[in-house]
Chains A and B, each alone.
Chain A
Amino acid sequence: MTDAPPTGANRIPTYCYQCVAGPDLLKVRVEDGVATEVQPNFDARDQAPSGGKVCVKAFGLIQKLYNPHRITTPMKRTNPRKGRDQDPGFVPIDWDEALDIIAGKIRQIHAEEPLDGSGYPRIAASFGGGGTPTYYMGTLPAFLGAIAPIDFGFGSGQGVKCYHSEHLYGEFWHRAFTVAPDTPECDYVLSFGFNVEASGGVCGVKRHADARDRGIRRVQIEPHLSITAACSAEWVPIRPKTDAAFLFALIHVLLHEQRQRLDLEFLKTRTGAPYLVAPNGFYLRDPETEKPLLFDLKRKRAVPFDTPDIDPALEGSFDLDGLEIGADDDRWLHRGARVTTAFGKLLDHMKPFTPLWAGRYCDVHHKIIRRIALEFLDHARVGETVEIEGRTLPYRPVAIVLGKTVNNGWGGYQCCWARTLMACLVGALEVPGGTLGTTVRLNRPATDRNLSVRPSPDGFIDYPMNPTDRDNWLAEPDVRNANRTLVPLVANSPWSQALGPTHLAWMQQQQGPEHWPQATPPDLWFVYRTNPAISFWDTNGIVDTIARFPFTVCFAYTRDETNHMADLLLPERTDLEGLQLIRIGGTKFIEQFWHYQGFALRQPVVEPEGDTRDFTWIATELARRCGVLEKYNRAINRGAAGVPLRGEHYDFSLATDRVHDVETIWDACCRAASAELTDGQEQQGLDYYREKGFRLSPFPRLKWYLTATMEDLGLRYELPYQERLFRIGTELGRRLHERGISWWDEQLEEYNPLPAMEDLPGIWEGALERNFHIDIDDYPFWLVTSRSMQYAWGGNVSIQLIREVAGNIRGHGGLVINAGKARELGLKDGDRVEIRSPLSATRGYVVTREGIRPDTLLLMGQFDHWATPLAKEFGMPSMNALTPMLLDLTDASGSGADLARVQITRLEETP
């Protein structure tokens, strides 16, 4: 080599986890102490599925670091009045004053009573972006654990802007908090609005590009031609919120036209299809062992499901004796009762849903639906196998993925069930090429899906439902969104609060439902990397609610719409300034499944800006000042910073009685991480990670799939019949009714053992007419949204670079409308329009496109800022201001869909 390369002599490794599809590894070029350029980290080229690259969002990090709009010193509000129209009057203060104010409040709350009169925690905290803030907040989780209880239920989009039904039902059925095709092996993907090219991160984009090169056929079914539809073999413009009907018709074709071509062996041995269903809708059981029964064609009699050497009947009805156990341990001892296999029930259930019926409903020609069903089956290769790491597994290269909105609110259950059932019908669940789960969040350990699989007494995967029996049901909600009370499926993990009905917490601040604890605002609210005043629904209402919160502490990057109402702003060191370790590889969100697993370090690449502080320093200081240092250190030792410091062969535990500096804490974490990866053989510390950036060890591909674990444990997927959900739903209904609560009755109806088909668009139309006393015909357009790869999850709207490059993608400039429809209405590109929903109105510029249904409008991303620097000048509307929070539009899982009905009116304004 001659001189230093033009790419720079000094390049510092770190990570980007601005979106859940990461983390991705990168390097930052530093010249004379100034960060000038983000580059891929090609040191990880051969190990990371991303090839060591980062997406467009990471390139905004340099501007994020030096943004002149940054808040770089703690600030205190001087205007006690709060509201959008109020100047907060923020004035700089020093860190001592800021931290003492917070510690004083926490000490006072703990000295009095941490729960308020309604039984809700007086301290609340909201974080954004699918858990990503955790990997920027250093040891704050340890501090929060030390000052519990905390209400994490004030959502900022969780539950309504995630893949909510998939999170709950996916994890229930196959430990699939998120679902992905086995893209490297898959040949045929049906994507119902899953926008992987915008939200699948670098792994997703690269893998799907490779798959297109291989010849994968992906059919994108959604109302507008998204980025992903553009990269697909076919776009099917379906009527909004009718995906369930399309999926039901696919199942109909497979069951009633192609039954003999299905993977009958998989259905018999790996699912609950042969379980016998008794007259009251619960399984017929052996009276002695209480095990569910199957009808064995070899022995011509009913036998427990785990009897060896059987040939269970998939179809048929039988007159049999047995025990049926219902909700609350109701019992029926049957003699010669007529029972039917679950599969037989399914056949009857799906009979009406023909492609002709669905075609009319979805506004898609029935021949297209039938053709797609047959293509799916043709590509499934039923009967083929492949060897993975010495083990023979089924090979089924077909998958179905579901996008946001398809996955949220009413219809989410039907779609998730249908998608998972489609995989079961051809044996493509959790096998090479098929539909995979990629992470768990409600079960433990979160680092290994396979280890989280435990057997249930009925032969399925066990699940930690919140109890619904009389003795153990949590009748009084412990947090304001009542997740454990209303949603048994949400379980009770650190993620459960964020997956409950998070809009319920906001709704109740305005008006609580009958027979329910009085809604109360939190006395102290922490906010980090989130902006619910922009990112949830009914944003005008949320702003009013936040303004009533007595004391809000925002860890603030710039001023924004939420921290406009804050009492304290605390400036942490941002992405390129802070120190933290993150787990990488294995299997994680979306398409993050690797051949390696390990850890990566985020480290300061330059000196920090202003009087900002590392988050771990902030957390430690708060712990000290609150008098919870010992608890805080213990939490770190247990793994609150991402890795337990003590293992079987190593112990890097911190002394619990003293303050440790930031480097000491992360050095211990680094050593424990290396030891964990090597069974205690190695213990590289912070210096190693600072230099190398990451440390990996191999991760077996066999663990991408649950099949080996399921086979080894002799377990079945609980499909198609949902006896457990039917039982808990019945019990939940009884519990609520015993307390006189009937406002959750519509949600209770969703607990069907076989999901009922409903007029899903009609639910929205009816709810809006009832609640707003409008004629739905006056609001002729469906308004939908779509992720922007440039912005999604990034919190980067104040970054000029991102704004500039995002402008190259149509839709970032305004309201997307079908070009023909626009002509019909006399609208053209750039026209200013008012977009009015039954709730409120906003304004934007017209963007005409051919790739959208004439009855649908699109607003990308989440904008409508009025306080965030730069973003407040965009003039870009958002559907969030237009979408109401309604109980009627909340499903049983506590989720709602990003969907609105609107009218548009041309305004006499020029751009």
Chain B
Amino acid sequence: MADLIIRDLYAEVLTEDGPKPILKGVNLTARSGEIHAIMGPNGSGKSTLAYAIAGHPKYRVTSGSVTLNGVELTELSVTDRAKAGLFLGMQYPVEVPGVSLANFLRTAKTALDGAAPKVRTWPKEVNAALELVGLDGTFGARSVNEGFSGGEKKRAEIAQLHILNPLFAVLDEIDSGLDIDAVREVAEGINTFAAQSERGVLLITHYTRVLRYTKPDFVHVFVAGKVVQEGGQELADLLEAEGYERFVKGRA
């Protein structure tokens, strides 16, 4: 089971000028075995939703609930959310100089599994995951995200998704900054992950093109801090044709 259930979620971002409310009552249910897409204009709070789910220290949940398989995530540390099966693929993956990707993933895998991965098979696993997303094996020895191009960072996020193999992946603008071939490869990586049993995916995106390759089961339109409409792939097609204007206007 990998059900992510968000109920009436309110959250604020902590800024130098004080807290600023962003999420205003988000409701969303993403069941195991489904791919969900959240689409919305810039500034609608999509990334805040991703960070609030993962527990970023600059975001504070003021009310509401997020559960993964019935476990309340909002009360857990960032680490424990990952241990509960959550993975956040970030829009801007962070560079960590001097820490090799392979060493980082080994440390993470050990933390998640409670035991170190087998020395004999581990390098092969890392290489296979890198190759799956079109990165060669040398990336394992490089510092985490350092000097990676925008596309390489996104590919590396999906490689991490495969190696850590969580229950539920929240992927924040995983398609932004990618050329069309990269979008296809990243989408294939997502599909391979989702095709395993008992996995869930929440794709946050501004554009529809990644959805052509991932075929979401549900599309949620996100405007001004909440979901304003839900539907299937046809909703993405409508947004592609008409943009967000009708939803943005309609809320006033």
Partners in one complex: no
